A and B are shown apart, each in its own frame.
Chain A
């Protein structure tokens, strides 16, 4: 079956512009995660959605970052007034339930964001 897909694969934007990144999880997966991966660094947790529960936004680095998820499907991560330090690969993952970390996370290919 289809895996996690993300779009766009690459995004170049100017400082101060808003960007929207999209994630399509595996069908039937109730849990969805967003991560940021800066060059040479580990993944940073950004936000977690699980079913109809309130999302865990504790990893969002500033109020310029927000994310939404429609039911148990598509999610969008929005970065407003982008800054150069936002340049990174943004990865989305989904898992069947997300109840604990033994629930395997399946990652998309990521969106490489470059802020000029």
Chain B
């Protein structure tokens, strides 16, 4: 079955630098991959979706890449700010159109 791996260790980044988070999957390449942000005590908030035929997607300071050969997606936050501190989750298409398979998330800490 499909498994997703995200770095379980927190990522500490200095304010202003680029933060890069990794999402690796093990089996088939999904048609879509999504990234979400989750703050403590809150539900996930959708950020970006990238399709399998897209190499890169951007939204303001966010950039997502999708490499089906490496079975990996990278999530970048440029000019990072302390307000970007949160847990970032990746999710990808499961067996049905509406089911997502979720990674455990990586906690990002931006230090001023």
- Mark A residues whose CB is within 8 Å of B: 4, 31, 33, 40-45, 48, 50, 56, 59, 91, 93, 98-110
Chain A residues touching B, majority SS: loop
Q: Are A40 and B98 in contact (CB under 8 A)?
A: no
Q: Are B99 and A48 in contact (CB under 8 A)?
A: yes
Distance between A67 CB and nearest chain B CB, rounded to angstroms: 15
Nearest residue, chain B, Cβ from A6: B43
Instruction: Give bound CA distance, A4 to B49, whole Å.
Output: 21
Nearest residue, chain B, Cβ from A39: B104
Contacts of A59 in B (CB 8 A): 99
Cross-chain contact of B4 among A42, A48, A102 (Cβ < 8 A): A42
Contacts of B101 in A (CB 8 A): 42
Q: Are A42 and B105 in contact (CB under 8 A)?
A: yes
Cross-chain contact of B43 among A4, A41, A45, A56 (Cβ < 8 A): A4
Nearest residue, chain A, Cβ from B98: A98
* A-binding segment of B14-22, B57-65, B71-79, B88-96: B88-96
**Interface residue count on the B side (C-beta < 8 Å):** 25
- Mark B residues whose CB is within 8 Å of A: 4, 8, 32, 34, 41-46, 49, 89, 91, 93-94, 96-105
Contacts of B49 in A (CB 8 A): 102
Nearest residue, chain A, Cβ from B104: A42
Q: Are A101 and B43 in contact (CB under 8 A)?
A: no
Contacts of A103 in B (CB 8 A): 98
Cross-chain contact of A107 among B43, B103, B104 (Cβ < 8 A): B43
Q: Are A104 and B46 in contact (CB under 8 A)?
A: yes
Distance between B13 CB and nearest chain A CB, rounded to angstroms: 21
Distance between B63 CB and nearest chain A CB, rounded to angstroms: 19
